[in-house]
A = this chain, B = another copy of it.
Amino acid sequence: MRVLGLMSGTSGDGIDVALVQIHGRGWRLRAHLENSCTLPYSPRVRRLLLRLANANRQPILSVAEISEANFLLGELFARAARQACRRFRVRLAAIDLIGSHGHTVHHQPRAGKRTGAQVASTLQLGEPAVIAERTGIAVVANFRARDLAAGGQGAPLVPYVDYLLYRHPRRGRVALNLGGIANLTVIPANASPQKVFAFDTGPGNMVIDAVVERGTHGRLRYDRSGRLAARGQPLAPLLRRLLRHPYFRRRPPKSTGREQFGQEFAESFLRQARRSSLPNRVRTATELTVESIRLAFDRFILPRARVHDVVLGGGGACNTFLVERLRQSLPALTFIPAGQLGVEGKAKEAFAFAVLAYQTWHGQPANLPSATGARHPVVLGVIVPGGGSRA
């Protein structure tokens, strides 16, 4: 089967598309990344996505706007699928299935006073019926809701795919993905699926990007190769304060997002660092990512599992300074770029949702309860039939 994976990450930059060849069933599935690309959003859409994300607790949206954003994003995902196929020189009719993650505008897997949520819930926009209609291809979407309904966090879902890709008979591995949020999957040597665990460590690029964008008045959107951070010094007292955030101390399974490390967090950060130079601020944000990952290893990983390798992916893997600091913080581990083991970093999540869609299509559960905290394995997502009468 040839499956297209579509992903719109928390960074809100664009739509990642992966074309994946998949065969086999269950744990014996084989997936091969044929091609991938990223189609950037227009500035108008980026603004809409930021508005939706930051509107989480601010009552500034109408039901109509959210409904419209859902259909608009459906059109954009459909267009991305078509554009990517042209770029890959593959006919749309040669694609058997699409797995579309959608764009997360709300994710609060715990209800209660602490979170301010009456009900645990998650919401991804990008109407799959629009994608199916425009492409004529069956779509699997809305992957997170069922795991949440089964008592899980609805995240992370990628660890299932990490296990398929990276498990090793003799080496313990941690797949570390540096997206807006940094997340990792721990796969002990020769582990059964039940031994895999995973969680979000906290910010990946999210705080760094916000600090750079504010500090350059939008001229730069990220710290290319970590050049700014390399010229700065960390603000030690601020860093210590930031690392006291309760999220870093919570035991896994846990997941986070823009709700906790988004605009509000960045604004508080900038208020506290307002007298420092841009390089010092960026360096501090970079160290926050590095330190929170190191703490996660010390507190939650190394006491439970022997680790040999870190498989590094996500946009942050291009930040050479950040990666160098991570190496220094975890000197006993071998760092392997994800691309070397089959899937280039940036394409990873789109690849993962192609694989998860394939499993759903075949009625195969594909959450890892040890990673999400769900009570049992579930078949993820909804299936939208393809062309039907048009086929």
Contacts and interface: CB of A to CB of B under 8 A. Distances in A.
A145 interface: yes
Contact of A365 (B65, B68, B389): B389
Given A133-B378, A146-B133, A390-B376, A62 B71 contact: no
A147 to B, nearest CB: 9
Interface string A59-94: 111111111101110110000000000000000000
A105 B63 contact: yes
A150 B70 CA distance: 16
Contact of A119 (B71, B122, B379, B382): B71
B64 A61 contact: no
A225 B336 CA distance: 75
Given A62-B57, A63-B55, A121-B71, A376 B389 contact: yes
Given A68-B117, A133-B149, A142-B129, A61 B58 contact: no
Given A129-B142, A365-B388, A121 B68 contact: yes
Interface in A92-116: 105-106, 108, 116
5 contacts: A56-B63, A66-B66, A68-B118, A71-B149, A129-B142
Interface in A227-278: none
A116 to B, nearest CB: 8
B62 A59 contact: yes
Nearest to A78: B149
A337 interface: no
Interface residues of A, number: 60
A356 to B, nearest CB: 13
Interface of A: 52, 55-68, 70-72, 74-75, 105-106, 108, 116-123, 127-130, 132-134, 141-142, 145-146, 148-150, 360, 363, 365, 376-379, 381-385, 388-390
A96 to B, nearest CB: 15
A72 B384 CA distance: 23
Nearest to A73: B119
Contacts of A385: 360, 363, 379, 383
Contacts of A105: 63, 67
Given A363-B385, A363-B388, A383-B382, A123 B72 contact: no
Contact of A56 (B64, B118, B384, B390): B64
Given A121-B67, A149-B130, A389 B377 contact: yes
Nearest to A383: B383
